[in-house]
Amino acid sequence: MASAIPTHMPNFFHATSGPSTGKAASDLWRGLRRAPLWLALAWQDIKLRYRGSVLGPFWLSISMAVTVVVLGFVYSDLFHHPLNEYLPYLVTGLMTWGFIAMSLNDACTCFTAAESFIRKARQPYSIYVFRVVCRNLIILAHNFVIYLIVALIFHLNPGAAVVWLFPALLLLVLNAVWISFLLGMICARFRDVTQIVNSLTHVVFFATPILWHSGLLQKRHYVVEANPFHHMLELFRSPLLGQKPAPESWWIMLGITAAGMLVSFLFFRHFRARLAYWV
């Protein structure tokens, strides 16, 4: 008896038989070469989010500014820190954490949100990852305006330390890329993981020195040192405050980045052929 044929079968251009390092690497390379496409998609996402708004994406900066001002005045008194020292610390922390948190949450849906594209268009999977990372970089750039305003008000000059900002940003982007690949695949297969990641993101926010200084946790300082988000945060925050990031933070984040990229690539290599059926 002939086997039943599904009445609805998507046109899965990406389906291949078995894991293939070459095809996975080719996907990444072709995705990078399609930069105009994922740049346009990222900017379109931003415009659609604020469609009909007069200020458009600058609502991102306004929202961040209000948060910084309110929390700055409250927590500077709670922690007994001078406002001119605490506000730059707070704005750099919130700005960096905003990128990290959005990268984690958006990573979970980078493939499922592009379901219609994946099923109908023959494009590399990597463009949907680069789209998400680029979109969050645009938001980070808008929020960076708040840091510049705070730096001008309080005469903050990071000086030569600002050169460390560029390798720190590169590490942030590389981590956002491998996390997006890994979580994107896992969450496409197991949808409940998205809710778990969203919940953990809120918990980690309070366990990471964003609102408070790491020096306040003296007896249990190991909690801070074991937190990879602390090191990621400090690499980007320290140069903006005129400080050189701690060497141990560089080594820890370099190790995490290398290991994460390897694991993520192996996952992508093995499950790439199934991804179209999961979304």
Q: Which of 48, 31, 218 is nearest to 131 (CA)?
A: 31
What is the C-alpha to C-alpha distance for residues 253 and 229, in angstroms, rounded to an integer? 9
Residues 91-139 have pLDDT tens digits of 999 999 999 999 999 999 999 988 888 888 788 999 999 999 999 999 9
| Domain annotation covers residue 195 | yes
180 belongs to a structural domain: yes
In a domain, 82, yes or no: yes
Q: What pLDDT is attached to residue 256?
A: 96
Sorted by sequence, the CB contacts under 8 Å of residue 159 that are 6+ apart come out as 242
| Predicted local distance difference test score (pLDDT) of residue 203 | 93
Q: How far apart are CA 218 and CA 103, in angstroms?
A: 30
Residue 256 within a domain: yes
Phi, psi of 191, rounded to the nearest 5 degrees: -65, -25
Residue 6 maps to a domain: no
Structurally, the chain folds into a number of domains equal to: 1
Question: Model pTM greater than 0.85?
Answer: yes
| 14 falls within a domain | no
Average confidence score pLDDT of the chain: 87
76, 82 Cβ separation under 8 angstroms: yes
Instruction: Confirm whether 102 is domain-assigned.
Output: yes
Kindly give, in sequence order, each residue whose CB lies less than 8 Å from that of residue 184, ignoring residues fewer than 6 positions away. 107, 108, 109, 110, 111, 112, 128, 129
- The domain of 228 spans 21-45+56-278
Domain assignment present for residue 5? The answer is no
Mean pLDDT by runs of 10 across the 279 residues of the chain is: 43 46 88 92 86 73 89 90 92 95 94 86 90 94 92 91 95 96 94 93 93 82 88 95 93 96 93 85
